[in-house]
Every structure is written in structure tokens, then in C-alpha cells.
A and B are shown apart, each in its own frame.
Chain A
Amino acid sequence: MTTTVAAHGEGTGTPYALSHLDALESEAVHIFREVAGEFERPVILFSGGKDSIVMLHLALKAFAPAAVPFSLLHVDTGHNFPEVLEYRDRVVAAHGLRLHVASVQDYIDRGVLKERPDGVRNPLQTLPLTEKIQSEKFDAVFGGGRRDEEKARAKERVFSLRDEFSQWDPRRQRPELWNLYNGRHAPGEHVRVFPLSNWTELDVWQYIAREGIELPQIYFAHEREVFQRGGMWLTAGEWGGPKNGESVEKRQVRYRTVGDMSCTGAVDSDAGTLDAVIAEIAASRLTERGATRADDKLSEAAMEDRKREGYF
């Protein structure tokens, strides 16, 4: 992987005009530093997906040469890609970070949560996440959500207040003006913070290329045993697939998003390098959620409903 560092202002035509990546990076760093200055116990939601990896990279830059003043929280659905878990543990060790894990499997084993008939575990993440936030007294929780992902997210604030049940009330959001963020919250409440609010999928990939950020290999084209369900290629595995009538085949695929194995689909792709991935995304006629997420196809307001209940 090569690192390309663009000179500041280069290609922008105007002196003092930042490139779009520099502008987005500076905004995200500003958000991280505001949280560090105003909160007691912030935590970064870290799934090992590209958005959370970019968040961590930005946090490292924001506080260098000091350590990142936040810990990481992984909501573990129990249906993880092994490559992603391996990546997570390596990054945590390399930067001397502290990792918290909220385990969905644990909740199922204890009988607190019930496995859904379809085996999809994304909606089950909300309770373990909320209880971990409460028990660890986290007051700011960084999420990698982007407003371009989904139309309910397009209305999300950078600083988004949640009550003690983590609920989001879209009609009672605080207006955000200039770059003045309001982080006031009562005891028991917390603020979800989205430093990548203004980034698009393409920005994220361009930034990964520019900064030379390493990603789990499943983001690049590889051969994998998959089967088709709900119009998506899912990875065959112990989590519950394939089932009656579904047949496994070997295909050249890659992942555009990384989530729970049960509802994150792979796309047919021969993009084996960053440049090829970027070209593929620029040409894509589907959004990343439309292409890869079963849970968002449930209804017009699927994401809004999950967000109201405390999902990230």
C-alpha cells in the first residue's frame, strides 16, 4: 500500500483554500478535540469497519504526540468476520488502547435477548450497547455514522443528545450553528458524536488512500464461499446459513461495509487494490447500504426506528 500525501492547497486553484479532504479532516479533528475538552468519559465505537478505522486514525492525529484520550467499545454480535477481529486486536495492541466489548452472544446465552427467526443480529445490538454505556458511565460516544448513508441520518446532528435509554428524538434536536457544538447533558444522559457526519463513502476511501490506512482484507476482492439470500451474497458459516434450498458457491467478492455476518452482503468485485475500489465506488449506481444491508430494506423508516431506540 502506498501513501500519497497531497501538498496542502495543491490542485485547489486558490491559495488558502483547503482541499476537500483537508477540510473534512480538520472538521473531524476539531470535533474530537471539542469532546476531549468538554466530556469526562468519551469512548469510540469501533467495529473494525472502515468508518471506525478512519475515526481512530483521525483521533490519533488529533492528539499526537500524546495518546488518544478515549477508549474503544466494540459491540460484538458474535457473528464476526475473523479477519476483522484479528485486525481489531492488532490495532488495539499497536496503539496501547483500552478495548471494551459489549457481547450480544452473552445476552442471548443469559436469556436476556432472543435470537430472531431470521438470525439477523443487528437490531439486538442496542441493549448491550446501552447497558455498557450506562455501566461504564460513558458520556460521549463517537459513532462513524455519515449523513450520506441514509435519509434519517441526513437529519442527525454532530452532537446528538440521548436519554438514559439511549433514545433519539428527531423532533427535539438542538440546532447546530457555525462550529459551536452544545454538549450539555444531564447525569445518565449521553451525547452521540459523529465526526464523519459530512463525509461521503467516496471521501472515506479517498482519505484511506491518501493516508495509507490499512484495512481488513475483506474490503478487497477475494474468493469466498457465499450463498444468496434476499438478493445479497452472504458468507456461509456457523451463524445460520445456508438453509433450506440455498446453495453455496465460490465467487470473487468484496465487502463494501462490515457488520454482522448475518445481514451484511458482499458484492461481486474484482477490485483488489485501493485504486480499483475507488474506481468501483465512483461508478456504482447503488448506495452502500442499498447494496449490502438487509436490515435497511425492512421499511421506509427502518433506520429512523432503530435510531430512536438507541442504535448507532
Chain B
Amino acid sequence: MSTSTTELGLTETTLLRFATAGSVDDGKSTLVGRLLHDSKSVLTDQLEAVERASASRGQDTPDLALLTDGLRAEREQGITIDVAYRYFATPKRRFILADTPGHVQYTRNMVTGASTAELTVVLVDARNGVVEQTRRHAAIAALLRVPHVVLAINKMDLVGYQEAIFAGIAEEFTAYATELGVPEVTAIPISALVGDNVVEPSANMDWYGGPTVLEHLETVPVSHDLAHCHARLPVQYVIRPQTAEHPDYRGYAGQIAAGTFHVGEPVTVLPSGRTTTISGIDLLGTPVDAAWTTQSVTVLLTDDIDVSRGDLIVPTKDAPATTQDVEATVCHVADQPLTVGHRVLLKHGTRTVKAVVKDIPSRLTLDDLSLHPHPGQLVANDIGRVKIRTAEPLPVDSYADSRRTGSFILIDPADGTTLTAGMVGESFASPEPVKDESEDDGWDF
């Protein structure tokens, strides 16, 4: 595909944030390299730098992984340590790619990349089919409630482009992902190396009638039916000019975390529970009648009530309950462990409160979804269930309902380290597929 310059010009398009997880063996770097290269996002000087670096390492062909491995330690060790963000555009859409390493010791990086992603690309090698790592990547997408999953079945050239092999892997993966509650799986047979179905349709697989990877990325919906979402506005900052021109202006600034707000709508401010009505919405200088996620707005209220940073504005007819007892699935992201009794800070939306870890009922192995009861602590890259008691009531949603108001981070109060990323409520959307090792006593509920 060639991208004409005028097409990229002034037009506003949409933005898709997506994530890839995988290792060099899956051909992930080749896939990412091809997406970037064929969309003209790798520029001459970058390619020259990669060629120079590859040559100095004695490699014959440019190693496209060097494009994303930005840190010296990564280049020296030939590994990707961190999440690398890559940017590219086609005339149809702008893309932010969170490129993460795929091995189990980088679970925290994959979770980080998936937290803001609307779509995740899971790569499998057509010769190996669904393996442990594939199941882990599916579980992370399910846990983080990533709305769209692409299963890219790679190296089709090495299995003779056989439809039966593609169909078998696609069926096995889709069944597994659906069981975990992944709402949508799009399986695409590709060869990243040869270029089949990455950007251009393949001439080698007439039996496949679906989109290429790039076509799918360009057309997958990036918004949802907001009518059914809870509306939530975490207050970031109170704007009070106190000038001659605006003596009484008092606006509540924030980014709408979910749903839609309308002028005239009765709202409740949490955790105080006071009610009032929206008298105006200012969309960065433009007065509007309605605003929705993820717009940054300033809301004006009819009554002069006490509202400050950390409060949550919600529709009165759809206010969440506040609670001091939070149960969640977490991914531990720090090198220091999380233990029962740990005193922490919990940041939810724009509010940070003191909290204590009351219990760690289980740890979860993402490879086979086995539960390990009462692990005592969680270490880096562990996924587990935790029970937390907060010093103040919080208006939390279930993460399944609202990714932004159902998530939180735990912070070490002593050194400020980000310890843990939390998702309120059940781990997976559908009937729990989890095998609980503690349930060996024959009771069957």
C-alpha cells in the first residue's frame, strides 16, 4: 500500500490504541516492522540507523526489532524490557501501538499495554497452534476487558497455506477466548515475512475472504453505544477565575471517564451524596449541550455546593454505591512484594486514599487459569485476588462495566512506588472457567 502525502494532510481521523504481545519467535517484530514500514512510518534516517546497528552486530539484514528496542540494555541483550509505544497513520486512522514483550516475566508490561488498548493482536505460529503463551495472552485481554481481539495466525507460508490448519487454530482459540468473556475475536491468516494479509490481501489464500490486519485495524469501531454506559466525571480541579470579568465562575474540570452528560441533568456528587443539576458544559472554550467520554470538560452546577478534587459527578438516577471494602483482581507490577497487612495508598480516578490489604485469597496462573489459594504475598508479574479496606468510602464501579472507574493503582506511601494495578469485581466476564485447586473435597455446587 502506498500512502499518498496529500491524503495524510489536514483531515481529522480517529485514533485506535492497540497492543501487541509476543516474542521474536512468533514473528511479532516482523509484523510490527511491516505495519510501520508499509504505512511509511519508518523513515529513511531511522532505517539507516537500524542498518548501521545491524551491520555492526554482524547481521546481514536490518533487524527491525532495533527500531523498538530503545534502551541500551535492550539492544545489548537483544530483548524488549519495557512497553514501547509506536505511532503510525494511514489516511483512514491514526494508531498508537503499545508493543510489549510476550514472556511470563513481562506480564506487567503486557497488562500495562492492554490497559489503554481498544484492540489486542495475539500472534500464534501456525506450526505450533495455541500454546501456553497464547492462552496467557488471551487471558490478559479478557482480564483487562480489551473489546477487540485479533488472532494473527502467522507463518502460514510454512504450513502450505492450508485452510484446515488455520480453521483448527481459529476455532480452538475462539472457543477458549469466548469462555473467558472476550466479546470479539477476528482470526486472520498471515505471513508477516512474505506480507500475506498484513497490509495487502494474500494471493496464496483464496479461501480467505476476510480483511487484512491493517484493513481490520482501520475499520474496527473505536466507540461504543454510550447510552448503556454509566456516566462518570471524576473532578480533577476547580476552576475559579475570581476576576472582574468572571467574579462568580466556579467550574468543575475533568475528563469524562464513561458515558454521556447533558445540560439540565440532575446529578449527584460522591461521596457526599449532595444533588444538583448541570447548568452548563464547557468543552474547552465551546459551550455544549452534551459531552461524552473521553472529552475533557468543565461542568457548571446550579447550586453552590461543596465539590472538590477527588469527587465523582454521576447522574442521580445512576449513582454507584460507595464502599470501603474493595474486592479486585490485581496485577502486581513492583519488584517489592504485596503482603497481607500492607498499608498502601489507593488512587481511584482523581482520589487518593489510605488503604490496607486485608486478604490475598488467591493467586492465578494465567497459562492454565489454575487458582492457588492464600499465597501470602504477590510478587512482580503475579495476578491475584485481593481484599482491600479503604480509609474513606469510594464510589467504585465494576471493571467489567467501566474500565476507568473500575480500575485503581496501589502506591507505596513510603517511596511512592506504583505497586499494583487493580480491577474491581470478578476476573472474567463469563461463567468462571477457573479450576480451583482447593475444591478437591468432592462438593459440587
Interface residue count for B (Cβ, 8 Å)?
Answer: 84
Is A108 positioned at the interface, with any CB of B under 8 Å from its CB? no
A287 touching B43, Cβ below 8 Å? yes
Is A20 positioned at the interface, with any CB of B under 8 Å from its CB? yes
Chain B, residues 342-355, CB within 8 Å of chain A (1/0): the string is 00010100100000
Choose, from A64-72, A135-143, A262-270, the stretch at the interface.
A64-72
Chain A, residues 179-222, CB within 8 Å of chain B (1/0): the string is 11010111000000000011010110010011000000000000
Interface residue count for A (Cβ, 8 Å)?
Answer: 79
The A/B interface has a contact count, at CB < 8 Å, of: 220
Q: How far is the CB of A55 from chain B (nearest CB, A)?
A: 15
B249 touching A65, Cβ below 8 Å? yes
Q: How far is the CB of B264 from chain A (nearest CB, A)?
A: 19
Given contacts A65-B245, A182-B347, A185-B416, contact A17 B68 (CB under 8 A): no
B350: chain A residues within 8 A (beta carbon): 34, 37
Q: How far is the CB of A200 from chain B (nearest CB, A)?
A: 5
Contact of B296 among A13, A26, A177, A197 (CB under 8 A): A26
Given contacts A24-B15, A33-B253, A37-B237, contact A175 B418 (CB under 8 A): yes
Name the interface residues of A119-174: CB closer than 8 Å to any CB of B: 147-148, 150-155, 161, 170-171, 173-174
Closest to A11 in B: B12
Given contacts A147-B87, A180-B347, contact A175 B12 (CB under 8 A): no
Q: How far is the CA of A184 from the CA of B115 in the complex (A)?
A: 21
Interface SS of chain B? mixed
Choose, from A44-52, A78-86, A241-249, A277-285, the stretch at the interface.
A277-285
Is A106 positioned at the interface, with any CB of B under 8 Å from its CB? no
A19: chain B residues within 8 A (beta carbon): 12-15
Is B44 positioned at the interface, with any CB of A under 8 Å from its CB? yes
Closest to B44 in A: A285
Q: How far is the CA of A279 from the CA of B7 in the complex (A)?
A: 9
Choose, from B121-129, B314-322, B384-392, B406-414, the stretch at the interface.
B406-414
Is B226 positioned at the interface, with any CB of A under 8 Å from its CB? yes
Q: How far is the CB of A185 from chain B (nearest CB, A)?
A: 6
Is B415 positioned at the interface, with any CB of A under 8 Å from its CB? yes
Chain A, residues 275-312, CB within 8 Å of chain B (1/0): the string is 10011001111110011000000001100100000000
A114: chain B residues within 8 A (beta carbon): none
B14 touching A177, Cβ below 8 Å? no
A66 touching B49, Cβ below 8 Å? no
Is B11 positioned at the interface, with any CB of A under 8 Å from its CB? yes
A62 touching B296, Cβ below 8 Å? yes
Is A111 positioned at the interface, with any CB of B under 8 Å from its CB? no
Name the interface residues of A17-40: CB closer than 8 Å to any CB of B: 17-27, 29-30, 33-34, 36-37
Q: How far is the CB of B9 from chain A (nearest CB, A)?
A: 6
Is A176 positioned at the interface, with any CB of B under 8 Å from its CB? yes
Is B434 positioned at the interface, with any CB of A under 8 Å from its CB? no
Given contacts A37-B309, A182-B347, contact A290 B45 (CB under 8 A): yes
Is A10 positioned at the interface, with any CB of B under 8 Å from its CB? yes
Closest to A30 in B: B255
A180: chain B residues within 8 A (beta carbon): 347, 407-409
B294 touching A18, Cβ below 8 Å? yes
Is B150 positioned at the interface, with any CB of A under 8 Å from its CB? no
Identify 16 new A-B residue pairs, CB closer than 8 A, beyond the known A14-B223, A16-B292, A282-B9: A17-B223, A19-B14, A20-B15, A22-B295, A36-B237, A37-B350, A66-B242, A155-B82, A175-B108, A175-B418, A177-B407, A178-B115, A180-B407, A182-B409, A275-B10, A300-B49
Q: Which 6 A-B pairs have the closest CB atoms?
A: A290-B45, A184-B416, A151-B70, A19-B12, A17-B223, A66-B241
24 contacts between A and B (CB under 8 A): A11-B11, A12-B14, A16-B223, A17-B221, A20-B15, A20-B94, A27-B255, A33-B254, A37-B237, A62-B284, A147-B85, A148-B87, A155-B70, A155-B84, A170-B73, A175-B108, A175-B112, A177-B112, A179-B255, A182-B347, A184-B345, A202-B8, A300-B72, A304-B70
